[in-house]
């Protein structure tokens, strides 16, 4: 039950993480990234409505746990959303946070504030540069869509819960990749052009390659889904 809820939540985190930032184009410099705006340039800004609205993205982790330069997020599950919704980062004291941010407990992700999330993605998924000059970090750069771009994402989630005074730990891991060129969908599953099953469809263009769930309380342990085509990202580029 818990893992299914988290699977759904994962989808939302990933989709929303794309719309967190906007950029102000500047004149391109020379060198390796000529024509590209980079985070280091200090011209890619947090979007309107974000807690950090108007501030430039910086190299390294921000106060919520996003590190756009390194293609990762590490922190409270709630913090992957709070900034976008105009809230400050949650730092572990729920009572104090609620007192200072009335109404935040009506947000669906508030109940997952103590779930730890480590999310990683590659440059095709969400680049740390703006090379196509549209003012935002690039996605599937060089490709018309995510299909065939090799875009991938992983999530490690972990947490604990109590039952009758006893604490149980759980971990959840999932790998997701954009479907390769020539792949097709049938019955909620992506297949390669050669009819080999890749994995379940998620958000239209993506397939789930692997899921691992461990739960001390339920005894669930190990791989619960593994792509027949390949669990490796390299097979899909």
Q: Which residues form the interface with Ca ion (CB under 5 A)?
A: 130, 132, 134, 136, 138
* Cβ 11 to Ca ion shortest distance, Å: 23
Structure tokens that stand for 110 in this block? 């508030």
Structure tokens that stand for 177 in this block? 């990749």
Nearer to Ca ion, 14 or 82 (CB): 14
Q: What is the largest CA-CA distance in the chain?
A: 63
* Cβ 80 to Ca ion shortest distance, Å: 21
* Cβ 232 to Ca ion shortest distance, Å: 28
DSSP string for residues in the chain? -HHHHHHHHHHHHHHHHTTSEEE------SSTTTT-EEGGGT-EEEPTTSTTTTPBP-SS--TTSEETTTTEEEEETTHHHHTTTTPPPP-S-HHHHHHHSTTGGGSTTGGGTT-EEEEEE-TTTS-SEE-SSSSS--SSTTSSSSTTS--EEEEEEEEEEEETTEEEEEEEEEEEEEPPTT-EEETTEEE-TTS-EEEEEETTTEEEEEEEEEETTT---SEEEE-SS-SSGGGG-
Nearer to Ca ion, 82 or 136 (CB): 136
CA distance 156 to 158: 7
Nearer to Ca ion, 37 or 155 (CB): 37
* Cβ 30 to Ca ion shortest distance, Å: 19
Could you tell me if 90 and 79 are in contact, meaning their C-beta atoms sit under 8 angstroms apart? Answer: yes
Nearer to Ca ion, 114 or 132 (CB): 132
In terms of Cα–Cα distance, which of 108, 153, 112 is closest to 17? 153
Nearer to Ca ion, 84 or 139 (CB): 139
Nearer to Ca ion, 15 or 24 (CB): 24
* Cβ 147 to Ca ion shortest distance, Å: 18
Structure tokens that stand for 226 in this block? 């593994």
* Cβ 153 to Ca ion shortest distance, Å: 18
Nearer to Ca ion, 28 or 189 (CB): 28
* Cβ 151 to Ca ion shortest distance, Å: 14
């Amino acid at each position: 039950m818990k893992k299914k809820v988290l699977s759904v939540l994962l989808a939302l985190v990933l989709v929303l993480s794309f719309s967190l930032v906007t950029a102000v184009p500047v004149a391109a410099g020379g060198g390796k990234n000529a024509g590209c705006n980079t985070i280091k340039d200090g011209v890619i800004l947090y979007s309107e409505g974000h807690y950090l609205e108007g501030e430039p993205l910086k190299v390294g982790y921000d106060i919520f746990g996003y590190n756009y330069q390194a293609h990762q997020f590490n922190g409270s599950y709630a913090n992957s959303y709070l900034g976008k919704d105009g809230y400050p980062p949650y730092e572990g004291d729920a009572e104090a946070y609620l007192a200072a941010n009335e109404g935040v407990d009506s947000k669906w992700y508030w109940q997952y504030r103590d779930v730890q999330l480590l999310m990683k993605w590659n440059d095709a998924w969400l680049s740390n540069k703006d090379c196509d000059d549209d003012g935002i970090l690039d996605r599937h750069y060089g490709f018309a869509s995510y299909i065939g771009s090799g875009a991938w994402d992983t999530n490690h989630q972990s947490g604990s819960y109590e039952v009758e005074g006893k604490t149980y730990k759980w971990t959840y891991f999932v790998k997701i990749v954009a479907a390769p060129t020539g792949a097709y969908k049938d019955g909620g599953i992506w297949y390669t052009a050669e009819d080999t099953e890749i994995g379940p469809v998620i958000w239209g263009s993506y397939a789930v390659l692997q899921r691992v769930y461990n739960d001390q309380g339920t005894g669930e342990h190990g791989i619960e889904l593994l792509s027949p085509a390949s669990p490796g990202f390299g097979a899909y580029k």
